[in-house]
């Protein structure tokens, strides 16, 4: 019983000590890296306790080692997210964070010419900023997905969506991002993020998304 309390207390201590204020929302939050660290701490502590059944020291040592491992991926994403938000502020590109990835949402109306896979010249600077961060944090897979609304023929939309994703990948590659990191997908009208029943919704659905996934 005492050992279980030690494990939970260690994870709770790490989490409580690292609650911060989100600079974008002003709300208190626990960083994703802290959650990873706390989980790693609890897992490491449990392993350490099994190894050293007669002593609580195994739990503590295991917890510290697990904390270091658990915080790795979370920290890697935290720093990328912060830099991407800074670089892409006021550009119209959405930055969303999931537990294990970062998602960039690039609206088609600011990224491409109408009904075309040619990137707008005034969007080059935005992609330059994306490439800068991707090159700095190179240990990740970069999934590029093109989407359309549901108007027009499905086959045409499928081709257009993939060509747009490929165009973004080609530009980023030209800025030094290794081609081996890319996965390029044409999604057509699948996975809409708004209603296709309105012009505003269709505009939102015409987009390219970049999903950054750390290599484990």
Tell me what pLDDT residue 97 has: 95
Tell me what pLDDT residue 216 has: 80
Q: How far is CA 89 from CA 25, 85, 121, 128, in A?
A: 14, 6, 19, 14
Nearest to 168 by CA among 184, 192, 157, 149: 184
Tell me what pLDDT residue 1 has: 53
Q: How far is CA 185 from CA 38, 194, 202, 205, in A?
A: 35, 20, 20, 15
Tell me what pLDDT residue 33 has: 52
Tell me what pLDDT residue 54 has: 46
pTM of the shown model? 0.69
Nearest to 40 by CA among 5, 77, 75: 75
Positions of the chain with pLDDT under 70: 1-71
Tell me what pLDDT residue 72 has: 72
Instruction: Give per-residue pLDDT as tens, 31-42.
Output: 555 545 555 544
CB 109 within 8 A of CB 149: no
Tell me what pLDDT residue 17 has: 45
Tell me what pLDDT residue 146 has: 97
Q: Which two tokens stand for residue 23?
A: 């600079």
Nearest to 87 by CA among 97, 75, 98, 95: 95
CB 108 within 8 A of CB 207: yes
């Amino acid at each position: 019983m005492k050992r279980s309390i030690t494990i939970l207390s260690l994870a709770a201590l790490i989490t409580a000590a690292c609650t911060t204020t989100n600079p974008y929302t002003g709300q208190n939050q626990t960083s994703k890296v802290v959650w990873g660290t706390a989980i790693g701490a609890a897992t490491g502590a449990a392993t350490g306790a099994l190894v050293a059944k007669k002593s609580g020291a195994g739990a503590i040592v295991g917890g510290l080692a697990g904390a270091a491992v658990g915080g790795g991926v979370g920290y890697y994403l935290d720093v990328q997210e912060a830099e991407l938000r800074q670089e892409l502020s006021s550009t119209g590109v959405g930055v969303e964070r999931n537990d294990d990835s970062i998602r960039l949402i690039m609206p088609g109306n600011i990224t491409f010419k109408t009904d075309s896979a040619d990137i707008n010249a005034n969007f080059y600077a935005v992609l330059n900023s994306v490439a800068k961060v991707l090159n700095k944090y190179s240990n990740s897979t970069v999934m590029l997905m093109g989407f359309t609304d549901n108007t027009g023929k499905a086959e045409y939309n499928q081709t257009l969506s993939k060509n747009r994703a490929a165009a973004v990948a080609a530009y980023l590659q030209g800025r030094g991002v290794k081609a081996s990191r890319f996965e390029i997908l044409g999604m057509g009208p699948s996975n809409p993020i708004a209603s296709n029943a309105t012009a505003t919704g269709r505009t939102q659905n015409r987009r390219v998304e970049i999903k950054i996934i750390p290599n484990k």
